[in-house]
Amino acid sequence: MQASSAANVSGFVVAGGHSTRMGRDKALLPLEGIPLIARALDLLRSLGISPRICGSRPDLSCFAEAIPDNFPRCGPLAGIEAALAVSTTEVNLFLPVDLPLLPAAFLRWLLARAEASQAAATIPVVADRPQPLCAIYSRRLLSGIRQSLAAGDSKVMNGIRRAAGGLNEAVDLFDVETVAAAADWPCSPPVSEWFRNVNTPAEYQRLSSAPSLPLEQKAVIQ
């Protein structure tokens, strides 16, 4: 993605979870001395994007602007709605706080795919599971997402599909490993590790004891 394109993209880190399985705030967990929230924000900055934080986390405002939810206690879909509500761009890139092994090269490719397809939603699929918190959403989805939240349905994929259906648009779902086999993406760490979430103390310990950050991320944080 060229620098001129970055001005037309808004970036958001989704960080509103309660970290129940972790037992402590995972957004602030350090990896090689850098909190996960700072890593995620720096990853978006490496693309030339000025990121913000969604998920009603005013305590994280020392890292970047934090956007409050308009639908409190409705999970990450509410964070996406609040982000789209303040966005001034058609293209909006979302990144969860707990994917520290995701390379910037993949996000650049994701942005290029969304630009080429003009889809309302561009969502990676890993092991047959959509990854709707690491995705690109158009502001066109805002009204439909609000309708889902107002109706009491806060499931992210339900809200995205409902919003896209209301626009008579399909959701662009693609298998990451299938595409990676034909793309010139970094192979360290391997693709199978990119979407490894950090949800439990055991997962955090595994990551901390043998970190394998993408080289481009190491350069960003040094």
pLDDT by residue for the chain (222 residues), tens digit each?
Answer: 444 467 799 999 999 766 666 767 889 998 888 999 999 999 999 999 999 999 989 999 999 999 999 999 999 999 999 999 999 999 999 999 999 999 998 999 999 999 999 999 999 999 999 999 999 999 999 999 999 999 999 999 999 999 999 999 989 999 999 888 877 666 667 887 899 888 788 888 887 775 556 545 543 433
Here the tokens at position 101 are 């092994």
User: d(Cα 164, Cα 159) in Å, to the nearest integer?
Assistant: 9
- Give the residue from 113, 106, 172, 112 showing the smallest Cα distance to 141: 172
User: What's the pLDDT at 213?
Assistant: 61
User: d(Cα 90, Cα 88) in Å, to the nearest integer?
Assistant: 7
User: d(Cα 169, Cα 141) in Å, to the nearest integer?
Assistant: 10
Residue 199 near residue 206, CB atoms below 8 Å: no
User: What's the pLDDT at 190?
Assistant: 80
SS3 at position 9: strand
User: What's the pLDDT at 24?
Assistant: 72
Residue 56 near residue 69, CB atoms below 8 Å: yes
User: d(Cα 50, Cα 52) in Å, to the nearest integer?
Assistant: 7
Residue 127 Rama label (left phi>0; alpha psi -120 to 50; beta): left
Q: Which residue has the tokens 């259906």?
A: 165
User: d(Cα 207, Cα 38) in Å, to the nearest integer?
Assistant: 16
User: What's the pLDDT at 210?
Assistant: 57
User: d(Cα 21, Cα 200) in Å, to the nearest integer?
Assistant: 5
